[in-house]
Amino acid sequence: MIDVTERVAVVTGASRGIGRDTALALARAGADLVLLARSEDRLRAVAEEIERLGRRALPLRADVTVAEQVTAAVTEAKRQYGRIDILVNNAGITRDGLLLRMKREDWDAVIETNLTSVYLCCQAVLPHMLRARYGRIINITSVLGQMGGAGSTNYAASKAGIIGFTKALAREVASRNITVNAIAPGFIETAMTEALDEKRRQELIASIPLGRVGEGRDVAAGVVFLASEAAGYITGQVLNINGGIYM
C-alpha cells in the first residue's frame, strides 16, 4: 500500500519548490513532518499548510552544510517526535558556469550543499533508523548527474556523487530494513529553473518526449511511493522522473 501514516519524515530544503511539494504530499499521505531549510519564515508557512492538513509539522532552521546545525535539528526532531522513519535529502543549489571560468567557491558551494549535506544528514539520522530497524532514505539527484550538461560540471558531479553514495549506503544498511534510493528529476518548474531564458526553455520542452516540463508534485509522488510500505523491496535504485528526456 502507498501509505506513510504515522511515519515521521525529515525533508531538507522544504521551504519552497520540490521540497515543499514533497513535504505536503507526505503529509497528505499521513506522515508528520520535520522541515529543514535556512529561511525560517517560509518554513513556518509550509508548516502551517501541513497543520491545516491535520498533520504535525516542525519547522527547524538549519544550514545542511553545517554539521552542528544538522545534528541539532535531528536531535530536536527526535526529542519532539520520538522517531525518524523517512529522510528526504532534497536541499540543493546551482552555480552554473563553464569549467574554465568556474570559481573555486562555486565548485565548493555546490558540492557542499548538494553532496556533503547528504553525508551529514544520513549520518545524523541513521543511528535512529538502525535502532528502529526501519528506514527510508530518498536522495534527490538530477538527470544532469546521469547525462551531464554544459556549464554544470559542479552540479553534475554533485548529483552523480549522490547516485554512487545511494548505492553504497543501500548495501551498508539493507540488513537493517533500511532502504536508500535516489530520484532523478528532469526539468521541473521551480525557482531553480525559472532563470532559464525563453529560447532555451522552448528547446528543452521540445526535447522532452512527454512534451511538458515537470511539476514539483510529479517528483513528490515518487518520493511518497519510495517512502511507503509498498516500496519495501526496492533499494539502491534511481527513479527517473523526467518526462522521458533520459531513458
The helix/strand/coil state of 242 is: coil
> CB of 156: closest distance to ligand NAP in angstroms?
11
Which residues are near ligand NAP by CB under 6 A? 12-13, 15-19, 37-39, 42, 63-65, 90-93, 113, 140, 142, 185, 187-188, 190-193
> CB of 179: closest distance to ligand NAP in angstroms?
19
> CB of 117: closest distance to ligand NAP in angstroms?
7
| Separation of alpha carbons 63 and 12, rounded Å | 9
* Residue 169 host element (H or E): helix 153-173
In the set 81, 119, 134, 155, the catalytic residue is 155
Does the active-site annotation cover 155?
A: yes
Sheet holding 86-89, edge to edge: 57-61, 32-37, 8-12, 86-89, 135-140, 178-185, 238-241
Toward ligand NAP, which CB reaches closer, 3 or 49? 49
Toward ligand NAP, which CB reaches closer, 107 or 134? 107
DSSP 61: E
Candidates 115, 97, 118; CA nearest to 106 is 97
Asked whether the beta carbons of 11 and 36 are under 8 A apart, the reply is: yes
> CB of 63: closest distance to ligand NAP in angstroms?
4
Q: Spell out the residues 6+ positions from residue 9 whose beta carbon is closer than 8 angstroms to its own.
A: 23, 26, 31, 32, 33, 34, 85, 86, 87, 88, 227
DSSP 82: S
CA angle 125, 58, 120 (to 5 degrees): 25
> CB of 192: closest distance to ligand NAP in angstroms?
3
Please report the beta strands in 13-99, taking only residues with DSSP state E, as ranges in sequence order: 32-37, 57-61, 86-89
Output the nine-digit C-alpha cell for 153.
560540471
Toward ligand NAP, which CB reaches closer, 12 or 166? 12
Toward ligand NAP, which CB reaches closer, 19 or 161? 19
Toward ligand NAP, which CB reaches closer, 13 or 161? 13
- Residues with a known catalytic role: 155
